[in-house]
Structure formats: C-alpha cells, structure tokens
Chain A
Amino acid sequence: MAALESPQPAATATAMRHAFGNVLSVLILVLIGVLAFSIRLFSVIKYESVIHEFDPYFNYRVTQFLSKNGIYEFWNWFDDRTWYPLGRVIGGTVYPGLTLTAGTIWWVLNSLNIPLSVETVCVFTAPVFSAFASWATYLLTKEVKGSGAGLAAAVLLAMVPSYISRSVAGSYDNEAVAIFALIFTFYLYIKTLNTGSLFYATLNALAYFYMVCSWGGYTFIINLIPMHVLLCIVTGRYSPRLYIAYAPLVVLGTLLAALVPVVGFNAVLTSEHFASFLVFIIIHVVALVYYIKGILTPKMFKVAVTLVVSIGMVVCFIVVAILVALVASSPTGGWSGRSLSLLDPTYASKYIPIIASVSEHQPPTWPSYFMDINVLAFLVPAGIIACFSPLSDSSSFVVLYIVMSVYFSGVMVRLMLVLAPAACIMSGIALSQAFDVFTGSIKYQLGGSSKSTDDAEDTSNAPKDDASAGKTDKGEEIVKERSSKKGKKKEREPADKPSVKSKAKKKALVLPLETSVVALLLLIMLGAFYVIHCVWAAAEAYSAPSIVLTSQSRDGLHVFDDFRESYAWLSHNTDVDDKVASWWDYGYQTTAMANRTVIVDNNTWNNTHIATVGTAMSSPEKAAWEIFNSLDVKYVLVVFGGLIGYPSDDINKFLWMVRIGGGVFPHIKEADYLRDGQYRIDSEATPTMLNCLMYKLSYYRFVETDGKAYDRVRRTEIGKKHFKLTHFEEVFTSHHWMVRIYKLKPAKNRIRGRAKKLKSKTTSSGWSSKSAKKNPWV
C-alpha cells in the first residue's frame, strides 16, 4: 500500500476497511434483490397468483406442454389447435429461452421434492429474474465506474417502473428473462474489453446465445456492439483487447444464433446482422494495419500505405458495389418488417397495418417518459457528462447505449424497456459522482487541515504518476465510493491517506460545508420521491392482470371476472374439437384457458388469415356465415364493453378489422363504415355498419338491459335496437355482458318455397359492402 509511517496497523486497517466494505456490498446486494422481488408482488396480493394479459398465456401453455411431454416433443411440436386450418410449428417459431428457463426451474424444484405447480413457477419467474437483472446491473456499472455507482444503479433498476411494467409477478413474457440476459451480455462484453481475457469472451458468446434464445430484441445487441467497436476504432481507441472482445463474439455468436430454430439462417442472411459482419471485416483490416505499422519503419509504412490504398480502394469499390446490388435486389433491402418499422417509423402505418395496430408499437408520449423512468430522466444527462470525465472504452459504450436506446424508445413505446437499464446505469453513475463530491467536501471541511491533498474531492481520476500512487488512489477511490453509498457511513475514518504524494495535478474541487449538506439532503429527497413514485406505479398502474378487472364505486369493489367465466363455459359446454373464431387478441387465452381450437391468435404471422376473420366481422350476417362455415367454425366470440364501460372491446377495435380486412379483400371499403370520417354506431351510422356482423353480435338484445340501449363506452344510444339474428344464435353472455358467444346455425336442409326467386333476390339485393361478385368462399 502507500508509504505509511506505521505500515503494520495501517495496512491491516485498510484491509479491514476493504473487507468490511465487501461484506457491506454483499449485504446491500441481497437487500436489492429482495426489494426487486417484492415490489413486483402487488398483483399477487391485490388479485391472485394468475397469469396476466394475452401473450403470457401462450408462453404458459407452451411451458405446460414442455413440462408434460419433455424437451424432444417440445422441439418438434406442431400445434394444430391454432390458426386452423393451417396450424403452427411451435418448435420453429417461438423463442425458447423463457419456456426452457421456467421448465428447467420447475423440473429442478420438483426433483428436489418441492412440488410447485407450473403456474406458480411461471408467475414468479419474472420477479426472480429481475433480482438477477439488478445484480447484473451492479456488475456492469462496477466495470464502468466502480462499485459505488454499481450499487446505486442496481437499486435504481430494481425499482424503475418501466421494467416493472413488463416483469410483475404474472407477466410471463419474454422480456422477463431477456432484460437480464441483455444486461449480463453487456457486462461480459465490457469485462472482456477491460481485461482482454478470452475466457470472458467465451462467456460473452454464451450469454449472447441465451439472449438470442429469449427475445427478438437480440438484434439490438448485435448492432450496438459493432457500432461501439466502430466508434472505438474511429476515435483511435483500437487495442488488442478490442479485437479479443469482438472477433470471437461475432463468429461464435453467429453460430449460436443460427442454432436457435426461430432465427436459423436469418443469422447470416438478413440485414440485421450485416453490421456485425461489416465491422468484423473492418476490425481485421485495422488490426492488420496496426500490426504492419508495428513491424515497419515509418518510411516504409508510408510506402505500404500508398501502395495498398490504391489497390485496396479498387477492390473495396467492387465488393461494395456487389453487396449493394445484392441488398437492393430484395424489396425490403433485406430487413424484416419489424426492423424496418423501427428504422422508419412511418413504414408500418403505410404497409403493414397489423404492426401499426398493436398499441405497444405506437410512439410514446412525453408524459410516459416521466411515468416510466421518473427522476432518472434528469439524472441521465449528468451521468453522460460524468462518463466523459475520464472517457474509457466502457464509458463510451454506455454513452452509446443510452443514445441508441433513447432513439428506439422514441419510436416504439415497448422499447422504453430497453432504455430503462441504460438510464439506471447513467443515473447511478451521476448519483455516485455527486455523492463523491459532496461527502468529500464535507470530509475536507470537517477534517480541516491541508494534509490530505484532496484529490479525493477531485471527481475526475486525474492521471497518476507512478504505479504506487495509482494503487493508493484506487484504494482511496474505492473507499470513497463505498463511503458515498446513500450518504451513510460518513463516519468512515477520515482519509488518513497521508503523504498521498504527487497526486492529481488539478486543484481540489471543494464546496462549502453548508452547500454540501443541503445538496446531500436534496439528493436523498430526490431518491425518496423516486421510491414513492415507483411503488405507486407498481401498485396502481402496472399490477393489473387485465384478465380480471376491478372498479371502485360507492357500493364497494366490483370484480369483473367475465373472461375466465366465458372460457370456463367454453371448455365445459362445447366439444373438444370445436373451433372458435374471435379477433386475434383473444387467441392465446382461448387456447390456453378454454382449450379450444382458434382461427387466429396473437402471433399474427399470417395477415391473410386475420384479414379473413376481419372481413367476416365486417360483412353482413349471411356473408359472414359463409366465411366462418368454410373455416369449420362453430362458435364466434365477441368482447363487448358497452354495458359496464370497458373501453377495449371489439367495437373499438373494429376499425382495425375493417382496415386489415380491406387491405386483402377489396370489397371491404373503409369509407362504407364511416360517417363524416368517424366510426359511429348510433342513429347516424351508415347502413353497412348497422348490418355488419360485429354490430349485430355486440348489440343483440342489448336493448333489454336498460330499455334504451345506451352504450357506456361510446356514450350514445345505438342505432338499430331491435333486430333478430338469422344465421347465428346466442349461446352465452357473461355476467356483465363482456363476452358474448354465438353459435353458427347449421345450414337449412331445404329452402322453403320458391328457390329460384330466392336465389335471384339474394344476388341482386346485395348489401352495399358486397358487390355482385360471386362469394369467393363457395
């Protein structure tokens, strides 16, 4: 250690301090893990341990299959109970990471004779992995700035509302494990970059493999890391460690990505991965240049450069021309639809209405930034500046990470989730540096003398002269950062870093005592506001399972359990092989809870099939019956919120049915349903609207509820109140009329009376939406 007067006691004192600090860090990390786990349990306490929303039900069903039938069956599973009559190859179209993780946990627990059900494991997977994610954030930020910043970042991530929204207990979706995999992969990359060890490079590739298994957002990693490598090269920070960090990752990572069936050969064929290959080539060129520069004299090097540049330019030009031609020959330039809609935010609304219709794919509003990352929005810029104060490879990486994630979060609100870890890291760095300055100032002011030449207060780690000074400084930095944890432990023995000799060149940055104290208190209050907001957001905003709804009124709490009621009815009162048609939102829940075959579900991989269902919902009764009959449908399920005011019902989604249906079947024209540019269901509605299947199935017998047929969502009385259904019969309406199930009436055995006249009547009368064209379904 440093040159001390009495080496023995002081050295043990420092060692003791280090040990104490380490133990304290571990304790704090355990507490952070517990915090991250428990803040996500609100929905279990307020409702019950149930799987939320729509997508998690599919993942739950897949996990059930996996736990029942084993991994070989899962890998080869062809699901015939969805997308009837097409079916879906589950093994090849699902990201297996989440289900395999939960399945493994369930299997391990069961083999240890802890009999947790699959549902319990699925519900609690997300909170457990969020605890892991906070620990990964600690590791990552520790690599960038030190353990103080690491702890601050970890506690911020444990509570950040944006991450909570996708990982509450019950939200069993890909992001639950994917965010942990993302942060962990970045941590291993930075670790490799800092140490240059091939061992960490291997681990990095394996962590990347886990990320590819878990989420389609892995393309973010495989584009961000090459961007960072390019940035390092361009800013002159090329080093052999960069090569070791990047090159094995590309090769091993591409191979591992190609192993996952859902990615397959896309790992080498699609544009999402081209950046990594391009930078792979570039880094080899740069490495070669540096090597040759190292072994040649400067004069010869100049000669080499002129020679090579002239030949190389020609070759490069040819290769680039070929590449551009190849890429331009594909209509989307090689990018997939989803990636294109990220790069060009207007792409989806012009070309792919399905992507545009998902509410998670809309751009976020300004208030949602404050809601989702709260106080961090202010701390991030401070963190960015702190990252520049010594700019290292790792801090340039986090700066790039936050810039890219801010851009992508601005395109799609779902990607706020990728912004959250970056914001936490930056804010952790900022908080830690701020605490450094303030506590150092206080210590200096209280410590009085000029003995400790307070490079401690110096927020920038100024370059050290000699190695020993460097080591002492590091020890001091660590002690300082540990002592700056949330302002506690101020009573750390003052810097007896005596003779800390030729320290920083910069003069001390010391603030007056009162300022520091007040500033510390304000920072702590800021933290308190953050905590209050996060707990509120977790409890009130993000814990709704959306399969059960509640509302407070004068006479107490109302619980609307209509969804599960109707799925239970379906599973008990219909045959196992009956097909149920509904809008694609409810497909996963229907297959998982009601165990019936559906026509379309949330995977939305087949636009034409969805357009068929949309057309059927927008057509008059007879045409719709024809369409559904051709698909062997027995029951039609419709969600209706007009009685209780539930706004996400099928009438509000109707515009998408018309748009998607009209995109494939030109006889559905959106203008037929609009009055003055609006969808209306009251007396001003167009006749096409009043005759379409969705209107009829939603409002059949609605007038019997209150005599006036007042729709609480659209806030108006409906247009056509008394009508009968000719081709469908109502079989079930749930308690609050939220779900209505209809059965297709079987075709008539004989047509009464004059058959010829009836036939000509149907063809000529034709509802306005149906032209005289022959029905394509017959």
Chain B
Amino acid sequence: MVKSTTKDAQDLFHSLRSTYVATPTNLKIIDLYVCFAVFTALIQVAYMALVGSFPFNSFLSGVLSCIGTAVLAVCLRIQVNKENKEFKDLAPERAFADFVLCNLVLHLVIINFLG
C-alpha cells in the first residue's frame, strides 16, 4: 500500500515535471518571477516574526507589494498563455501594457503607504 503510494507519488512527480518542461519559455520566466515574489514575501513574514511588527504599515506594504506583483504576474501569464481560448484575440503587448499599468498603480500606493 505504502509502496504503491510512493510509486504513485513518483509517477505523479515525473509526469508533472515532464509536462512542465514542455511549457514555453516566456511562461516559465513569468513563473520564476512569481516564485521569486512569493519567496520574498515569505522572507519578510519571517523577519516580522523575528523582530516584531512595528511599524505595521511598512510590513503590510512590503508583503502586499510582493503578493500583489505575484498576482498580477499570474494574471499576465493567464492572458499570454496560448492555450487559453478565451484570450486568443488579446495581443500580448496589450496584456503586458495592462500589467505595467496595474503594477504602476500598485507601487504608487505602496510607496505612499510605506511611511
């Protein structure tokens, strides 16, 4: 039972890996960016746990900026992905422009809130 579960887990891992390797490079770059952003957010949370949460607005703006840009990158990935039928007539340049605009607004707010 356990053996089959481990074998299943390995099979799963392999199939996930093989499918992921097949995705286009630009999507993989976006994924890397998302992972980086989330990782930065986790580091900030760990730091906050160590030294306390004052000033809270700085902590909040730091974490939310990381999470925000990660979310926006995921949205960009959704819109740029060729396999998404819903977005096939959306030019990738337009998607990127929207991404930049939203990030601009996000970081404007962050800088204001950073304190």
Contacts and interface: CB of A to CB of B under 8 A. Distances in A.
B57 interface: yes
A247 interface: yes
B75 A244 contact: yes
Contact of A252 (B84, B86, B99, B109): B109
**Which DSSP category, helix, strand, loop or mixed, fits chain A's interface?**
helix
B12 A304 contact: yes
B87 A303 contact: no
A605 interface: no
A244 B68 contact: no
B8 A255 contact: no
A243 interface: yes
Given A196-B79, A197-B98, A296-B19, A303 B12 contact: yes
Contacts of A287: 74
Interface stretch (A15-23, A62-70, A200-208, A577-585): A200-208
A312 interface: no
Given A248-B71, A296-B16, A307-B5, A255 B11 contact: no
Interface residues of B, number: 39
Interface string A711-746: 000000000000000000000000000000000000
B15 A265 contact: no
A1 interface: no
Interface in B90-115: 90, 95, 98-99, 101-102, 105-106, 109-110, 112-113
B75 A243 contact: yes
A73 B76 CA distance: 41
B9 interface: yes
B106 A252 contact: yes
A258 B60 contact: yes
Nearest to A240: B78
A252 B75 contact: no
A501 interface: no
Interface in A212-248: 239-241, 243-244, 247-248
B72 A258 contact: no
A248 B11 contact: no
Given A240-B87, A243-B74, A268-B60, A258 B12 contact: no
Given A240-B87, A296-B16, A251 B71 contact: yes
A205 B84 contact: no
A198 B15 contact: no
Interface in B51-94: 56-57, 60-61, 64, 67-68, 71-72, 74-76, 78-79, 83-84, 86-87, 90
B60 A205 contact: no
Interface in B10-40: 11-12, 15-16, 19-20
A198 B60 contact: no
B74 A247 contact: yes
A241 B85 CA distance: 12
A6 interface: no
A296 B79 contact: no
A255 B62 CA distance: 11
A778 interface: no
B60 to A, nearest CB: 6
A532 B90 CA distance: 49
A413 to B, nearest CB: 36
Contacts of A240: 78-79, 84, 86-87
Contacts of B57: 258, 265
8 contacts: A205-B105, A241-B86, A255-B60, A255-B61, A259-B109, A265-B56, A296-B15, A303-B11
Interface of A: 196-199, 201-202, 205-206, 239-241, 243-244, 247-248, 251-252, 254-256, 258-259, 265, 268, 287, 292, 294-297, 300, 303-304, 307
Interface of B: 5, 8-9, 11-12, 15-16, 19-20, 56-57, 60-61, 64, 67-68, 71-72, 74-76, 78-79, 83-84, 86-87, 90, 95, 98-99, 101-102, 105-106, 109-110, 112-113
By Cβ-Cβ distance, the 3 closest A-B pairs, closest first, are: A198-B98, A251-B68, A295-B19
Given A198-B76, A244-B79, A300-B12, 5 more contacts: A197-B90, A202-B101, A205-B105, A259-B112, A304-B16
